A and B are shown apart, each in its own frame.
Chain A
């Protein structure tokens, strides 16, 4: 399925780029990210825990960034396979400066396979849309709260429309990447299904073709599979 959308983030394209390609940030902003491991230049593997409705469980996936045109665009290749569900997504991300900060637009071509595809397009896209919403909320908070991102403007104020993301991000020392040993960044667990819906607090459309949601889409799959075994 093709999934497109956009989000307005409170930071310059340069700031957004820094945040959105920082594994430490991704580790704590991708909803349900349990750990994110750097496996090479711009390549990561990660464990995501997801729980929405009957879609719940943990999943392992891989992400690779390419065609980077800092700070305006890059392509994310997200993939994962867990019998019998699997997903593969190629996501193009573009950053445009605006008065409010940056408009991030994404366009994904996602292939969802296995029995999980049987739950219906609106189930999958609905869940992924929600994940994307949580992801953008967390990213926007990273940009506006100042704390962990040096490049974030100290004066930046949180978007008035933003609501706090479920699950509190635990501070993680984002030290200099050590090329010799793979680095592991731990993230924040996803809320349980019963958690309230944040989602529409930032203007996101359609499914998370964006990195976070693209990856959570992987989580969605096995999550659903675990869910149906309950």
Chain B
């Protein structure tokens, strides 16, 4: 039988380790390291007038105190703008430690190093920093009004004005049979990984080398950043991402101040130094996402077909723009979803506020884009008295239109050309899966139980697997063990399992022989990172190509030994054999031994490769020109452009008209990520995404007050859905392979979170007959909305018998 693992629901190999406490997370490293703690700004915008460390000196165990004055060379310069863009006309970044002015609560001002974290915190507590408070800007609207400036030299608070259009939208709107305009808002949330950020650094003075462990999504680039900022040669620095307890985007940002300061301290002190972020630090010192004001005007015909779409988004990017305008670009380009829009114009103004920076959080601008597009579809359906599913169906790109060119430029600088998909297929499956056509029966049943019921749906298309590249290395050892390495990191998604499945399938070996290593620059120095649902697409294809290279070499060597024609050989269960000729075979591990001609027989297996054991030709060198010892291969996958996954979600909500508690009672997902490597892992990703989608729609928000103080910076106050709030999820798969990569796969990591807010807003609107224009929405807000006489009613409210 052949080794068939691709597509199988193989159980996650990492789980036994992770769920039995054998994981090795950042804080499990360096038990004897000195600990760092930070004095962070308590003000959202202020000028530092003094720092008095005197009182900290009495703290037993204090080792060092650093402020901006201690930073030298590149460390004294602003942090890098990681992804520059011509339309990011006023990029601003902070310093590793505040230089004169702080722009958000939580910005690091003083670094304290001590014998342990308790001592470091005690010392930090005694350091007195005095400030002169400056005017504070909180929220997109305040930033827009620009009564105050976050950065003196950016008076209008606009960091970037991103603009794309595919035709004359003004003319198209003027010619449209109908138009409608509306403004809506979406609030901030955040990744909230179980494990916060963390950094451990060890300087070897004798070797003049630095080893850094960081809970990051991009170890190779963190390495490059550390080398550049600390003026070290790249070869003197190694960065390793150990087990990472979740990332969801926040850990793709780098270098975080702590990722530079901890190594700096380790070098200056000649001691191991470690910092593990605490939860409050994560709330106020990491990154958030999502807040936007969306002004939408759409033109459409009598059938509900969109003839023109004009969108103006105000995007809150927080105090700095280290990650460029990736999120605004993703919103602008992914907003179009699965629909054919004759004319589209989008302008995203990315504005500064005195709040934590905004960088990609799972979905990375897509949930906002989906919210804009899907709520537009709902409005059109409502205005025309049409079924929401039908209006969507009429606007879908049809299967015969692929590849479909939106004439837009994506976040990777490549054109937005959908490679493949079947959107009507998604919609049909969804309607059947959620029982869309039985909605009125469900509504009647709920009404009988004194509940208001509503259904909503949202479709999305997600650009996944952007380049520039990822690489893979596969090596077969004499023991038969197969080592697989890729530089891309894992945050628990199941890379060890999926990459092992791919290599085992490609190479024809038992999966138990395969060992996968990720995110370690010592093993693989070239990589981009884990983001944009790219791991399976990029590293998956890279390790597949590397495995194919190993397979080719193994068959070449085996063919010589077996004196057979390479075409007649196959590898199965770790055995290279002549097809249909039992016995005529050689174990892959033996091929590995023979691949490395030896002089010395250090063990039994090695004997076979020594010079008197092998009958080699006298007129050929043991290692032929162009060949290399060892059974290994390194290869890279670099895509022409992103591959576009898609999906459709539907939510059924029940609302209690007494408490206005919103309960998602049914949630259906139809998911298309091309060929599925491991359905169990894909479904797990979808489940997690839906949970975050529900959180973003009903619970999570960053409660900043007017002074820029985050009032719910703890898990006591920041509401996340428990299992009890996450609905049972029914999933149906559709597989339209990508023609762009060898494995025909598309990304699946972020998908689950994208349509949640749009679908649930639609369902609540359907249940209440009130226009939902701001998400998330709490029972209290819904209660107020229901009591507000001026609140807009939907046209459908009569038909659905929503409360007057």
Complex alpha-carbon distance, A130 and B62, angstroms: 15
Chain B 260-276 interface mask (CB, 8 Å, partner A; 1/0):
00000101111100000
Q: Is the CB of B60 within 8 A of A120?
A: no
* Contact of A53 with B60 at beta-carbon distance under 8 Å, contacts A120-B70, A122-B67 already known: yes
Q: Is the CB of B63 within 8 A of A228?
A: yes
List, in ascending order, chain A residues with CB within 8 A of B265's CB: 118
- By beta carbon, the residue of chain B nearest A119 is B64
List, in ascending order, chain B residues with CB within 8 A of A127's CB: 57
Task: Point out the residue from A117, A119, A130 that lies within 8 Å of B65, measured CB to CB.
Answer: A119
Complex alpha-carbon distance, A185 and B62, angstroms: 33
Q: Is the CB of A194 within 8 A of B60?
A: yes
Q: Is the CB of B58 within 8 A of A53?
A: yes
Task: Point out the residue from B51, B59, B66, B67 that lies within 8 Å of A53, measured CB to CB.
Answer: B59
Chain A 158-198 interface mask (CB, 8 Å, partner B; 1/0):
00000000000000000000000000000000000110110
* Contact of A118 with B65 at beta-carbon distance under 8 Å, contacts A129-B54, A197-B57 already known: no
List, in ascending order, chain A residues with CB within 8 A of B53's CB: 122-123, 126
List, in ascending order, chain A residues with CB within 8 A of B51's CB: 122
Does chain A have a CB within 8 A of B69?
yes
Does chain B have a CB within 8 A of A98?
no
List, in ascending order, chain A residues with CB within 8 A of B57's CB: 52-53, 123, 126-127, 130, 197
Does chain B have a CB within 8 A of A115?
yes
Chain A 34-61 interface mask (CB, 8 Å, partner B; 1/0):
0000000000000000001110000000
Does chain A have a CB within 8 A of B115?
yes
Complex alpha-carbon distance, A120 and B65, angstroms: 5
List, in ascending order, chain A residues with CB within 8 A of B55's CB: 197
* Shortest Cβ gap from A147 to chain B (Å): 30
Q: Is the CB of A54 within 8 A of B62?
A: yes
Task: Point out the residue from A119, A194, A196, A197 that lies within 8 Å of B63, measured CB to CB.
Answer: A119
* Contact of A228 with B269 at beta-carbon distance under 8 Å, contacts A126-B57, A194-B60 already known: yes
List, in ascending order, chain A residues with CB within 8 A of B64's CB: 118-120, 123
Q: Is the CB of A199 within 8 A of B61?
A: no
List, in ascending order, chain A residues with CB within 8 A of B60's CB: 53, 193-194
Task: Point out the residue from A115, A130, A193, A199 that lies within 8 Å of B268, measured CB to CB.
Answer: A115
List, in ascending order, chain B residues with CB within 8 A of A120's CB: 64-67, 70
Does chain B have a CB within 8 A of A2?
no
Residue from B60, B65, B67, B114 whose CB has the most chain A CB atoms within 10 Å: B65
Complex alpha-carbon distance, A117 and B269, angstroms: 9
Q: Which of A90-145 contact B (CB under 8 A)?
A: 115, 117-123, 126-127, 129-130
- Contact size range, B: 20 to 34
Chain B 265-301 interface mask (CB, 8 Å, partner A; 1/0):
1011111000000000000000000000000000000
Complex alpha-carbon distance, A200 and B267, angstroms: 33
* Shortest Cβ gap from B183 to chain A (Å): 50
Task: Point out the residue from A115, A126, A200 that lies within 8 Å of B269, measured CB to CB.
Answer: A115
List, in ascending order, chain B residues with CB within 8 A of A200's CB: 54
List, in ascending order, chain A residues with CB within 8 A of B114's CB: 54
Complex alpha-carbon distance, A13 and B405, angstroms: 88
- By beta carbon, the residue of chain B nearest A130 is B57
Chain B 60-89 interface mask (CB, 8 Å, partner A; 1/0):
111111110110000000000000000000
List, in ascending order, chain B residues with CB within 8 A of A126's CB: 53-54, 56-57, 65
Complex alpha-carbon distance, A126 and B53, angstroms: 7
Residue from A53, A115, A129, A199 whose CB has the most chain B CB atoms within 10 Å: A53
Q: Is the CB of B65 within 8 A of A228?
A: no
Q: Is the CB of B270 within 8 A of A122?
A: no
* Shortest Cβ gap from A113 to chain B (Å): 13
Q: Is the CB of A118 within 8 A of B269?
A: yes
* Shortest Cβ gap from A25 to chain B (Å): 26
Task: Point out the residue from A54, A117, A119, A121 that lies within 8 Å of B67, measured CB to CB.
Answer: A121
List, in ascending order, chain A residues with CB within 8 A of B268's CB: 115, 117-119
- By beta carbon, the residue of chain B nearest A53 is B62
- By beta carbon, the residue of chain B nearest A54 is B63
Complex alpha-carbon distance, A127 and B53, angstroms: 10
Complex alpha-carbon distance, A120 and B124, angstroms: 14
Q: Is the CB of B58 within 8 A of A194?
A: yes
List, in ascending order, chain A residues with CB within 8 A of B54's CB: 126, 129-130, 197, 199-200
- By beta carbon, the residue of chain B nearest A194 is B60
Complex alpha-carbon distance, A121 and B97, angstroms: 14
Chain B 375-412 interface mask (CB, 8 Å, partner A; 1/0):
00000000000000000000000000000000000000
List, in ascending order, chain B residues with CB within 8 A of A53's CB: 56-63
Q: Is the CB of B61 within 8 A of A119?
A: no
* Shortest Cβ gap from B277 to chain A (Å): 21
Complex alpha-carbon distance, A194 and B59, angstroms: 8
Residue from A119, A120, A127, A200 whose CB has the most chain B CB atoms within 10 Å: A120
* Contact of A54 with B65 at beta-carbon distance under 8 Å, contacts A115-B268, A115-B270, A228-B271 already known: no
- By beta carbon, the residue of chain A nearest B55 is A197
* Shortest Cβ gap from A14 to chain B (Å): 33
List, in ascending order, chain A residues with CB within 8 A of B58's CB: 52-53, 193-194, 196-197
Complex alpha-carbon distance, A52 and B115, angstroms: 14
List, in ascending order, chain B residues with CB within 8 A of A54's CB: 61-63, 114-115
List, in ascending order, chain A residues with CB within 8 A of B61's CB: 53-54
Complex alpha-carbon distance, A193 and B58, angstroms: 6
* Shortest Cβ gap from A189 to chain B (Å): 18
List, in ascending order, chain B residues with CB within 8 A of A196's CB: 58
List, in ascending order, chain B residues with CB within 8 A of A121's CB: 67, 69-70
* Shortest Cβ gap from A134 to chain B (Å): 12
Complex alpha-carbon distance, A129 and B53, angstroms: 11
Chain B 697-715 interface mask (CB, 8 Å, partner A; 1/0):
0000000000000000000
Complex alpha-carbon distance, A193 and B61, angstroms: 10
Complex alpha-carbon distance, A52 and B123, angstroms: 13
* Shortest Cβ gap from B190 to chain A (Å): 32
List, in ascending order, chain B residues with CB within 8 A of A115's CB: 268-270
List, in ascending order, chain B residues with CB within 8 A of A117's CB: 268
List, in ascending order, chain B residues with CB within 8 A of A130's CB: 54, 57
Q: Which of B640-689 contact A (CB under 8 A)?
A: none
Complex alpha-carbon distance, A127 and B63, angstroms: 12
Complex alpha-carbon distance, A196 and B70, angstroms: 27
* Shortest Cβ gap from B20 to chain A (Å): 37
Chain A 191-227 interface mask (CB, 8 Å, partner B; 1/0):
0011011011000000000000000000000000000
Complex alpha-carbon distance, A87 and B277, angstroms: 36
Complex alpha-carbon distance, A115 and B69, angstroms: 17
List, in ascending order, chain B residues with CB within 8 A of A119's CB: 63-65, 268-269
Complex alpha-carbon distance, A122 and B268, angstroms: 15
* Shortest Cβ gap from B111 to chain A (Å): 8
- By beta carbon, the residue of chain A nearest B53 is A122
* Shortest Cβ gap from A57 to chain B (Å): 14
* Shortest Cβ gap from A201 to chain B (Å): 13
Chain A 4-44 interface mask (CB, 8 Å, partner B; 1/0):
00000000000000000000000000000000000000000
* Shortest Cβ gap from B602 to chain A (Å): 43
- By beta carbon, the residue of chain A nearest B54 is A126
* Shortest Cβ gap from A220 to chain B (Å): 11
* Shortest Cβ gap from A93 to chain B (Å): 23
- By beta carbon, the residue of chain A nearest B269 is A118
Q: Is the CB of B65 within 8 A of A123?
A: yes
Complex alpha-carbon distance, A117 and B57, angstroms: 16
- By beta carbon, the residue of chain A nearest B67 is A122
List, in ascending order, chain B residues with CB within 8 A of A228's CB: 63, 269-271
Complex alpha-carbon distance, A194 and B62, angstroms: 12
Complex alpha-carbon distance, A119 and B56, angstroms: 13
Chain B 318-359 interface mask (CB, 8 Å, partner A; 1/0):
000000000000000000000000000000000000000000
5 extra interface residue pairs, beta carbon distance < 8 Å, beyond A115-B270, A118-B270, A129-B54: A52-B57, A54-B63, A120-B65, A122-B66, A197-B54
A-B residue pairs in contact (CB < 8 Å), sample of 13: A53-B56, A54-B63, A118-B64, A118-B265, A118-B267, A118-B268, A118-B269, A120-B65, A122-B70, A193-B58, A194-B60, A199-B54, A228-B269
- Give the top 3 A-B pairs by smallest Cβ distance, nearest first: A118-B268, A53-B62, A119-B64
Measured CB to CB, the residues of B under 8 A from A are 51, 53-67, 69-70, 114-115, 265, 267-271
